[in-house]
Amino acid sequence: MSVDPIIAALSGACSFAGLTLPDPLPASPIPLFMEWMGLAATSKTQPNPNAMTLATVDEAGHPSARIVLARRVDAARGYVVFFTNYEGAKGRELIARPEAALCFHWDHLDRQVRISGPVTRSPQSESDDYFRSRPGMSRIAAWASDQSRPLASRAELIEKNAAAERRFGLDPATPRDEQGRPAKEIEAALSVPRPPHWGGFRVWARRVELWLGHPARLHDRAAWTRTLTPATVDGAAGYEGGEWSGGRLQP
């Protein structure tokens, strides 16, 4: 079956088809973005409704994109937080060229959100809080992986992880479930600090575009921009946002 008949069948089945963005548009796109995130989360038809494509650019100007999970959105200040290894490819790119583009796509809702703007590192406390909330085995894995570096074999990664387990007091011979996790009480007792090279990035929305699919291809699309002025936020480098200015775009 070619792609077109599949799309035709799906668009007929989409219960959200025919919805439009408010007219006139709201002054800020952020409440609608939050509403769409909430809808994507509660409709439970997508395992990771907070998944977003993150596009970065290296020092030579070559773009690169991959999926990461949005872990926090500050609706008042207008930034999105994700966590990663600062020494991996995207980490190094964002530190050298702190600008990013994000794209959320909720296929079952026929919606897309694009956000772009400058990037800052999360304050230590934000990275610490989130790292503490992760399961013990994920915290150990953050120590084991030198993200984006070459690996000779899968066995090498397993050995690096076993070395990290020993370092944090977990015997690699401990019985595991089928997901590789030890008994709950053993995992809960692990004490694993945040690696200094692991933490959050905040992507500050300078431009937001909302896209709502329409069955007759007359998709509804609008974009907002604002100025961002450098400011200290939560004790770290951040931005103060100006007024949003928005308008509809041809699809």
Ligand X SMILES: Cc1cc2nc3c(=O)[nH]c(=O)nc-3n(C[C@H](O)[C@H](O)[C@H](O)COP(=O)(O)O)c2cc1C
* Binding residues vs ligand X (CB under 6 A): 48, 51, 64, 66-69, 82-84, 88-90, 147-148
Tokens encoding 51: 């998944």
Which residue has tokens 């939050």?
A: 34
Q: Measured from the CB atom, is 124 or 147 closer to ligand X?
A: 147
d(CA 141, CA 126): 19
CB of residue 48 vs ligand X: minimum separation in angstroms?
A: 5
Single-letter residue type at 168: F
CB of residue 54 vs ligand X: minimum separation in angstroms?
A: 8
Tokens encoding 10: 């799906």
CB of residue 57 vs ligand X: minimum separation in angstroms?
A: 12
Q: Measured from the CB atom, is 21 or 68 closer to ligand X?
A: 68
Q: Measured from the CB atom, is 69 or 186 closer to ligand X?
A: 69
Closest CA to 225 of 245, 199, 242: 245
Q: Measured from the CB atom, is 25 or 68 closer to ligand X?
A: 68
CB of residue 71 vs ligand X: minimum separation in angstroms?
A: 7
Q: Measured from the CB atom, is 97 or 219 closer to ligand X?
A: 97
CB of residue 66 vs ligand X: minimum separation in angstroms?
A: 4
Residues 6+ apart with CB under 8 A from 175: 182, 183
Cβ count within 10 A of residue 227:
12
Q: Are 92 and 248 in contact (CB under 8 A)?
A: no
d(CA 17, CA 218): 11
